[in-house]
Homo-oligomer: A and B are copies of this chain.
């Protein structure tokens, strides 16, 4: 088990921290202050927040004051923020709006910042596949290393599942079933929830978020993209009941145009493995099954991942394993001998009771970037830039990984509207 070896990132002698400029960090609310900020805080010898940009400069100033970001400057404009040479890494945390509309001017303005090396963008980008592809091209040309918050790939459970499979602990995968419960897309809507979440076309929906994150980790675990897919997208709840923070109905119905159910099935390129997947709107939650269940069956064993939220990237999971390690796993081949576990019937339940997956997976993403930046694992000839993570255990997902996932999601909608099973075996290639 190498997956949970402590990152060597905690001691970085004689090196300057990565200077981070954040768009969208507010001490008052939002995703950035809940996840990016505590992650950076825990890695204070590797990262330092040096610049902030928000809709208003006042928001940045009060955030600097509230969070005591003594090294940070509040910038009045995107241009001044992007061109500041006191920033090595830009983190974009937009709560709303198309990322493309922000990233294109950002990349243009940042051309004068010769220190800019990293661009960290949140999933989903709420942009079209073509727009994401354009950003990919621009950043690759500029030599800017991108990072996408498909942070489920850094979940210890996902990595453990990937490790077990790649080392032959379940033999050949022959069947996969996924059932998820997708958060807020049910019969009721919290009054304070922003309405754009329920309007189609904003790029944040059951397909891009609950399904997107989950199918990304599935591909990552199995080390395979899809070859054929079919999808059916449902909006069976065109109106929702407004409820207050205690769940009381307020007697008001509001329209919903985003999907509340996705049926997806297909086969993986590796082994032609059948994958069945059903994502349901959140409320009411299921009584006899967890909100996220990923069942992976193999010729020599099974892995079950269960979570309390239908979002693999923010849910603290439980991993169940049972099987017999086959002798021809990766490690035996590498060592030229049969490994210790070969042929034994094995069981494992893996769960970190106090693991905060919401922060933890983002934190581990920052760890990976620092490991890369400082080359803490002393990898010889470490390249200056990774175009994509693909299915590597090390590293972090990039905009290219995001682009491939966007293409799959566009195919999901296309399959639904055409009523066709689609061949998608060529979508994970660049350009």
On chain B, the residues within 8 Å of A228 by CB distance are 232, 419
Task: Using known A-B contacts A177-B278, A271-B236, determine if residue A230 contacts B421 with beta carbons closer than 8 Å.
Answer: yes
Task: Using known A-B contacts A232-B267, A323-B287, determine if residue A297 contacts B280 with beta carbons closer than 8 Å.
Answer: yes
CB distance from A349 to the nearest CB of B (A): 11
CB 8 Å contact bits of A391-431 with B (1 = contact, 0 = none):
00000000000000000000000010001111000000000
Which of A64-72, A106-114, A298-306, A357-365 touches B?
A: A298-306
Instruction: Check B266 against A284 for contact (C-beta < 8 Å).
Output: no
Quick check: is A184 within 8 A (CB to CB) of the other chain?
no
Instruction: Check B323 against A421 for contact (C-beta < 8 Å).
Output: no
Within residues 204 to 258 of chain A, which ones have a CB less than 8 A from any CB in chain B? 228, 230, 232, 234, 236
Instruction: Check B265 against A263 for contact (C-beta < 8 Å).
Output: yes
Quick check: is A339 within 8 A (CB to CB) of the other chain?
no
A175 to B300 alpha-carbon distance, docked (Å): 31
On chain B, the residues within 8 Å of A272 by CB distance are 234, 236
Instruction: Check A288 against B266 for contact (C-beta < 8 Å).
Output: no
Instruction: Check A284 against B299 for contact (C-beta < 8 Å).
Output: yes
A322 to B288 alpha-carbon distance, docked (Å): 8
On chain B, the residues within 8 Å of A322 by CB distance are 287-288
On chain B, the residues within 8 Å of A327 by CB distance are none
Among B264, B278, B289, B420, point to the contact of A304 (Cβ < 8 A): B289
On chain B, the residues within 8 Å of A265 by CB distance are 230, 232, 263-265, 276, 278
On chain B, the residues within 8 Å of A236 by CB distance are 174, 271-274
Number of copies: 2
Instruction: Check A276 against B263 for contact (C-beta < 8 Å).
Output: yes
Within residues 318 to 333 of chain A, which ones have a CB less than 8 A from any CB in chain B? 320, 322-323
Determine which residue in A177, A179, A277 has the highest number of CB atoms from chain B within 10 A of its CB, and name it. A177
A265 to B415 alpha-carbon distance, docked (Å): 13
Determine which residue in A284, A302, A323, A415 has the highest number of CB atoms from chain B within 10 A of its CB, and name it. A284
Quick check: is A295 within 8 A (CB to CB) of the other chain?
yes
On chain B, the residues within 8 Å of A300 by CB distance are 284
Task: Using known A-B contacts A302-B286, A304-B288, determine if residue A274 contacts B174 with beta carbons closer than 8 Å.
Answer: no
On chain B, the residues within 8 Å of A289 by CB distance are 295, 304
Among B179, B275, B415, B422, point to the contact of A177 (Cβ < 8 A): B179
Residue of B nearest to A297 (CB): B286
Task: Using known A-B contacts A174-B280, A187-B299, A299-B187, determine if residue A421 contacts B274 with beta carbons closer than 8 Å.
Answer: no
Residue of B nearest to A170 (CB): B287
CB 8 Å contact bits of A304-316 with B (1 = contact, 0 = none):
1000000000000
Quick check: is A261 within 8 A (CB to CB) of the other chain?
yes
A41 to B230 alpha-carbon distance, docked (Å): 49
Among B232, B266, B420, point to the contact of A420 (Cβ < 8 A): B420
Known contacts A232-B274, A263-B275; can you find 7 more A-B pairs with CB under 8 A? A177-B278, A230-B265, A234-B272, A263-B266, A265-B265, A419-B420, A421-B421
Write the residues of chain A forming the contact surface with B, with a CB cutoff of 8 angstroms.
174-175, 177, 179, 187, 228, 230, 232, 234, 236, 261, 263-267, 271-278, 280-281, 284, 286-289, 295, 297, 299-302, 304, 320, 322-323, 415, 419-422
